[in-house]
Amino acid sequence: MAEAEVRCVDFWCNEFGMRVRIALREKNVEFEFVEEDLRVRQRSELVLRMNPVYRSIPILIHRGRPICESMNIVEYVDEVWSQPGGTRLLPADPLERAHARFWANFVDQKVFDAQHRFFMGRNEAKETAKAELVGHLKRLEEVLGDKAFFGGDEFGLLDVALVPFSSMFYGYEKHGGVDMEVECPVLARWVRRCHERESVRSVLPTGVNMYEIHKFFYGIE
């Protein structure tokens, strides 16, 4: 049987991979989900071959050629599957594109890092990370403002970059008492709006499942 034209190597709870799968669904691209079980320490032969530099997922394999790094893949998907009048994840205007990329970079550098330290840390380190995490999310809430999406009226690159982290909000409350409805009500409303989209609904796991597996990864009782 011929190999699928588009394959996405990922694991269900990988926030970076969710970005790719949401983007593919937004563009109505049919793809094969190739599962790489992150609970297993050793990476598969496929991952080692397709991503020798980082040996990580997600990996998009398009006609046998790999593309790695989640935001890079999302931009590739946006460029390759673009039709006049079709969904575009990156806006047309260069300044808006720069802003989307700047804040997506902020999500990667700041939000993910703080989230990681929040789950890794104990006592003071955990509290510090928690405060930073909430601070970064509040900052993003200011960027959203009164727009429907970060992209304006349209769901776009920055929405794709951030929405997977919303599947961890339940975990933030369970792990550290962070109630996102209270801390970032505008962001919480944005999350609900994103969930109206089939792409987001079909990709994002439940908060309960995300918390359970992260407890496993971080060795939390």
Partner 1 sequence: MSPPVKVIGAFGSPFSHRVEAALRLKGVPYELILEDLSTKSELLLKSNPVHKKVPVLLHGDRAVCESLVIVEYIDEAFDGPPLLPADPYDRAMTRFWVDFMENKCSMPFWLAHWTEGEVRGRFVKEAKENLALLEAQLKGKRFFGGDTAGYLDIAACALSPWLSVIEEVTGVTLVDDDEYPELCRWAKEYASDEALKQCIPDRDELVAYFNVNKERYKMFANAMAQQ
Binding footprint of partner 1 on the chain (CB under 8 A)? 53-54, 62, 65, 67-69, 72-73, 75-76, 79-80, 94-95, 97-98, 101-102, 105-106, 139
Q: Which is nearer to partner 1, 187 or 200 (CB)?
A: 187
CB of 216 to partner 1, least distance (A): 26
CB of 61 to partner 1, least distance (A): 12
Residue for token pair 């720069």: 98
Q: Which is nearer to partner 1, 38 or 59 (CB)?
A: 59
Q: Which is nearer to partner 1, 80 or 208 (CB)?
A: 80
CB of 147 to partner 1, least distance (A): 18
CB of 60 to partner 1, least distance (A): 9
Q: Which is nearer to partner 1, 72 or 202 (CB)?
A: 72
CB of 86 to partner 1, least distance (A): 15
Q: Which is nearer to partner 1, 43 or 62 (CB)?
A: 62
What single string gives the DSSP state of each residue in the chain?
Answer: -PPPSEEEEE-TT-HHHHHHHHHHHHTT---EEEE--TTSSSPPHHHHHH-TTT--S-EEEETTEEEESHHHHHHHHHHHT--TTS--SS-SSHHHHHHHHHHHHHIIIIIHHHHHHHHH--HHHHHHHHHHHHHHHHHHHHHHTT-SBTTBTS--HHHHHHGGGGGGHHHHHHHH---HHHH-HHHHHHHHHHTTSHHHHHHPPPHHHHHHHHHHHHT--
Kindly report the number of other CB atoms within 10 A of residue 38's CB atom: 18
CB of 213 to partner 1, least distance (A): 25
CB of 43 to partner 1, least distance (A): 17
Q: Which is nearer to partner 1, 151 or 171 (CB)?
A: 151
Q: Which is nearer to partner 1, 53 or 182 (CB)?
A: 53
Name residues whose C-beta falls within 8 Å of residue 78's C-beta, 6 or more positions apart in sequence. Answer: 23, 27, 88, 89, 90, 157
